[in-house]
């Protein structure tokens, strides 16, 4: 590898925060601290004297920590800017303190309160929302779920007293359904704006609209607080956000960035897993200190590499430093994600194997080396043929720089890019916003449910193509979520309450009619994890052989159900899982999702215990009411062609339907690799289609 680029200390484009008058903020702060004191007095008694001393010491320790963060010197300027402007854009390096500190500044300055409303901070990822709330509760020395809380899908740790709330952007979208003007909040912080996830993009338009309405109401003398918006981003795209929010004020926080030596490979790497492993060895044998952060595209790659690193670590002998692989991806249970943050045991080096999740949303201490494979899994959507995909994709330049920057947080670091410099030069500058490359059905449904009728005229920061919007409307119409005038139907409203893609919501709702809710909930939960199988690369055949006993002739949906029944019979026995090559961890995650879906169904009065017993055909018919567009029919030449788009597709070798010829198939996922592969496949009869989606197939000849 040759050394090519040096990272400059201090980003040249970043300007320092300017200081300004603080008189007003201080006054407000004094007022609010008075109130707190009184509260303490009323509650004081001798028993908690010791506690109070401890709390005081902890407060001091935390404040000392906070004061050392780069953002702290800009505290007053940030408070003033938020007080004086309806919208503010804050840009700053990851780790400078934006997400944990700004909400606390807002609180300390009295911008939020029980009567004015609280602050909501959105996160694209669940793990970030949870961890940040925990951290801020710790810094404020309060109990999580009190003043500071979080709300993520299936887990709400907030209370009526929570005024600093971290939540996923999906949850805020959901809150709009019950609180149209988000009146419980005085400030909305849209964090990690640079990621431009679909939901963040939707929130930009919605929150801007809500701000305008609240402004008008307040102007007309209604008792409504004006809404303040703060947008936070880790990259240099502030101008665009500012423009969208009518020339919002921009603040720059310069972080402490140490130099990072950046290396490219001299030759393109055919196998990024192999290249990663070799790089880990090289670092480990040549450089003694500092943890390694590896960016990989997804759970599968991470799990494979975890195994490989473990094998390698076993060969390390004597006094040689140990290696501890720590996987980190969104679907990993929180307790295991936490290992990433724990200090490594003595004489051990951590190798964190992470997805994009470690790019900006979370701070991991101790990293000195970054290995960037240059790839990410990205959602794609072809609106013309209506096909969604999840593809390995080269990352953008700005993403590559973010990854590199992770090596220089605490001291000088090194970044190894597993691609050539020429490849780097050809990368796109920025990642295309998700809204421009994904199926918009879920987004459109939630816009409709929150009262936005005209989807085509909605205020998008980057407008999706008309064809993808129209396609989304068509899909929702076919699912019965909207009527022919584009108005949300009662079914559509019910669907919008499920935290699932519209097709899955529809399947769950119709499962009541088909009498198979129990089966559907189980299968949907099992589909929510990458895979429940465990397939070591050296035992592929053995694993396939052993698992034959679960295979259901009708395909993957019912095969999954068979596995779960087997798992329940042995009460989740670990040995049984090992023998049968079942990924016990993923099954457990799926079962947690299952519990939550059961509760959702109960709330919507869908009996979760309804079962079809041996009449498993109804499960497939029921799935078809949501997935009728993901279907393909057998052609005379033995191939399958999709019903929508007339595309030739192959059944994935991992599917129970692989190599089988049946009249028709339904699938959950279409993946482009070298061919169009379908996964999650079951057999269907073409005669079922018009029954599953009468509106859709009425005018179509099959």
Q: Taking CB within 5 to 8 Å according to partner kind, which of Mg ion, ligand ADP, none is near residue 580?
A: none
Maximum alpha-carbon separation in the chain: 86
Neighbours of 354 (CB within 10 A): 23
First to last CA, the chain: 57
Asked whether position 104 contacts ligand ADP by CB under 6 A, the answer is: no
Q: Which stretch binds ligand ADP (CB under 6 A): 55-63, 95-103, 207-215, 651-659?
A: 95-103
The correct pick among 94, 269, 337, 586 for binding ligand ADP (CB under 6 A) is: 94
Are 77 and 90 in contact, with CB atoms under 8 Å apart? Answer: no
Strands 413-417 and 367-372: parallel
Q: Which stretch binds Mg ion (CB under 5 A): 57-65, 99-107, 496-504, 690-698?
A: 99-107
SS3 content of the chain, % helix, strand, coil (to 5): 45, 20, 35
**Shortest Å distance, C-beta 195 to ligand ADP:** 13
- Cα 607 to Cα 516: distance, rounded to the nearest angstrom: 9
Residue with tokens 């899955």: 504
Residue with tokens 């939540």: 167
The correct pick among 11, 17, 25, 69 for binding ligand ADP (CB under 6 A) is: 69
**Shortest Å distance, C-beta 161 to ligand ADP:** 22
Mind spelling out the 3-state secondary structure of 650-685? EECCCCCCCCCCCCEEEEEEEEECCCEEEEEEEEEC
Q: Taking CB within 5 to 8 Å according to partner kind, which of ligand ADP, Mg ion, none is near residue 135?
A: ligand ADP
The correct pick among 77, 87, 91, 100 for binding ligand ADP (CB under 6 A) is: 100
Asked whether position 92 contacts ligand ADP by CB under 6 A, the answer is: yes
Q: Taking CB within 5 to 8 Å according to partner kind, which of ligand ADP, Mg ion, none is near residue 96?
A: ligand ADP
Q: What is the dihedral of CA 174, 179, 181, 186, to 10 degrees?
A: -90
Q: Taking CB within 5 to 8 Å according to partner kind, which of Mg ion, ligand ADP, none is near residue 363?
A: ligand ADP
Partners of 327 in the β-ladder: 353
**Shortest Å distance, C-beta 191 to ligand ADP:** 7
Asked whether position 123 contacts ligand ADP by CB under 6 A, the answer is: no
**Shortest Å distance, C-beta 133 to ligand ADP:** 10
Partners of 415 in the β-ladder: 262, 370
**Shortest Å distance, C-beta 95 to ligand ADP:** 3
* Phi, psi dihedral angles at 607 (to 5 degrees): -65, 110
- Cα 229 to Cα 17: distance, rounded to the nearest angstrom: 19
**Shortest Å distance, C-beta 94 to Mg ion:** 6
Site for ligand ADP in 344-363 (CB under 6 A): 363
**Shortest Å distance, C-beta 471 to Mg ion:** 34
Q: Taking CB within 5 to 8 Å according to partner kind, which of ligand ADP, Mg ion, none is near residue 100?
A: ligand ADP
- CB nearer to ligand ADP: give 69 or 387: 69
Q: Which stretch binds ligand ADP (CB under 6 A): 3-11, 90-98, 259-267, 532-540?
A: 90-98
Are 194 and 233 in contact, with CB atoms under 8 Å apart? Answer: yes
- CB nearer to ligand ADP: give 135 or 417: 135
Are 153 and 168 in contact, with CB atoms under 8 Å apart? Answer: yes
Asked whether position 199 contacts ligand ADP by CB under 6 A, the answer is: no
Tokens of 509: 């709702």
Q: Which stretch binds Mg ion (CB under 5 A): 58-66, 96-104, 474-482, 527-535?
A: 96-104
Q: Taking CB within 5 to 8 Å according to partner kind, which of Mg ion, ligand ADP, none is near residue 594?
A: none
Asked whether position 99 contacts Mg ion by CB under 5 A, the answer is: yes
Q: In sequence order, what are the residues at sequence separation of 6 or more whose Cβ sits closer than 8 angstroms to the Cβ of residue 65?
A: 139
- CB nearer to Mg ion: give 122 or 583: 122
- CB nearer to Mg ion: give 190 or 441: 190
Asked whether position 431 contacts ligand ADP by CB under 6 A, the answer is: no
- CB nearer to Mg ion: give 80 or 98: 98
* Phi, psi dihedral angles at 319 (to 5 degrees): -85, -5
Tokens of 553: 């002739």
* Phi, psi dihedral angles at 10 (to 5 degrees): 65, 115
Strands 648-651 and 640-642: antiparallel
Asked whether position 233 contacts ligand ADP by CB under 6 A, the answer is: no
Strands 676-684 and 648-651: parallel
DSSP 393: E
Tokens of 51: 């506690």
Asked whether position 200 contacts ligand ADP by CB under 6 A, the answer is: no
Neighbours of 43 (CB within 10 A): 8
- CB nearer to Mg ion: give 99 or 580: 99
Encoded one letter per residue, x for contact with ligand ADP by CB under 6 A and - for no contact, window 166-185 reads --------------------
- CB nearer to ligand ADP: give 155 or 421: 155
Chain residues binding ligand ADP by CB under 6 A are 69, 92, 94-101, 131, 135, 363
Chain residues binding Mg ion by CB under 5 A are 98-99
């Amino acid at each position: 590898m040759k050394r090519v680029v040096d990272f400059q200390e201090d980003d040249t484009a970043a300007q320092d925060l300017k200081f300004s008058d603080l008189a007003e903020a201080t006054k407000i702060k004094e007022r609010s601290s008075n109130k707190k004191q009184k509260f303490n007095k009323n509650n004081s008694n001798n028993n908690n004297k010791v506690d109070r001393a401890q709390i005081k010491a902890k407060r001091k320790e935390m404040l000392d920590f906070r004061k050392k963060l780069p953002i702290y010197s800009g505290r007053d300027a940030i408070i003033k800017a938020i007080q004086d402007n309806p919208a503010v854009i804050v840009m700053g390096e990851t780790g400078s303190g934006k997400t944990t500190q700004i909400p606390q500044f807002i609180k300390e300055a009295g911008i939020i309160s029980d009567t004015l409303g609280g602050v909501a901070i959105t996160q694209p990822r669940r793990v970030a929302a949870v961890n940040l709330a925990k951290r801020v509760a710790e810094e404020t020395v309060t109990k999580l779920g009190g003043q500071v809380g979080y709300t993520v899908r299936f887990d709400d740790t907030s209370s009526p007293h929570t005024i600093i709330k971290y939540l996923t952007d999906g949850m805020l979208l959901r809150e709009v359904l019950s609180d149209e003007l988000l009146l419980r909040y005085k400030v909305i912080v849209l964090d990690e704006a640079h990621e431009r996830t679909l939901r963040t993009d939707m929130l930009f338009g919605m929150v801007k609209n809500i701000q305008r309405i609240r402004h008008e109401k307040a102007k007309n003398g209604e008792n409504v607080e004006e809404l303040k918006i703060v947008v936070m981003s880790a990259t240099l795209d502030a101008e665009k956000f500012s423009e969208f929010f009518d020339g919002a004020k921009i603040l720059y926080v310069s972080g402490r960035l140490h130099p990072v030596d950046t290396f490219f490979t001299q030759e393109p790497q055919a196998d990024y897993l192999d290249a990663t492993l070799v790089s880990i060895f090289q670092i480990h044998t040549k450089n003694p200190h500092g943890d390694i952060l590896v960016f990989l595209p997804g759970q599968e790659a991470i799990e494979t590499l975890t195994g490989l690193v473990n094998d390698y670590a076993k060969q390390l002998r004597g006094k040689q430093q140990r290696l501890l692989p720590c996987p980190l991806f969104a679907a990993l249970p929180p307790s295991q994600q936490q290992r990433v943050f724990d200090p490594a045991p003595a004489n051990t080096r951590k190798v964190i194997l992470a997805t994009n999740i470690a790019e900006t949303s979370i701070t991991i201490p101790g990293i000195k080396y970054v290995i960037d494979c240059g790839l990410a899994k990205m959602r794609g959507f072809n609106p013309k043929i209506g096909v969604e995909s999840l593809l390995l994709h080269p990352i953008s330049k700005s993403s590559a720089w973010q990854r590199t920057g992770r090596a220089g947080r605490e001291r000088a670091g090194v970044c190894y890019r597993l691609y050539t410099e020429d490849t780097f030069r050809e990368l796109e500058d920025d990642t295309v916003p998700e809204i421009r490359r994904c199926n918009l059905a879920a987004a459109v449904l939630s816009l409709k449910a929150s009262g936005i009728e005209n989807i085509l005229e909605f205020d998008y920061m980057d407008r999706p193509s008309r064809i993808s919007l129209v396609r989304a409307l068509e899909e929702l119409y076919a699912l019965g979520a909207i009527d022919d005038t584009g108005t949300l139907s009662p079914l559509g409203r019910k669907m919008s309450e499920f935290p699932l893609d519209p097709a899955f919501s529809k399947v769950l709702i119709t499962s009541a009619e088909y009498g198979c809710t129990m089966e559907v909930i189980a299968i949907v939960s099992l589909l929510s994890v990458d895979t429940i199988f465990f397939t070591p690369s050296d035992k592929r055949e053995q694993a396939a052989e052993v698992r034959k006993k679960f295979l259901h002739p009708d395909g993957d949906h019912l095969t999954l159900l068979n596995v779960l029944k087997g798992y329940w019979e042995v009460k989740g026995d670990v040995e049984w899982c090992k023998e049968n090559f079942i990924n016990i961890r993923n099954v457990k995650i799926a079962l947690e999702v299952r519990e939550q879906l059961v509760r959702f169904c109960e709330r919507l009065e869908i009996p979760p215990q309804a079962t079809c017993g041996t009449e498993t055909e109804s499960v497939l018919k029921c799935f078809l009411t949501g997935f009728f567009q993901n279907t393909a029919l057998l052609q005379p030449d033995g191939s399958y062609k999709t019903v929508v788009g007339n595309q030739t597709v192959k059944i994935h070798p991992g599917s129970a339907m692989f190599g089988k010829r049946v009249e028709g198939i339904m699938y959950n996922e279409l993946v482009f690799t070298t061919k169009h592969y379908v996964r999650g496949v079951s057999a269907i009869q073409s005669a079922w289609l018009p029954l599953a989606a009468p509106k859709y197939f009425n005018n179509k000849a099959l």
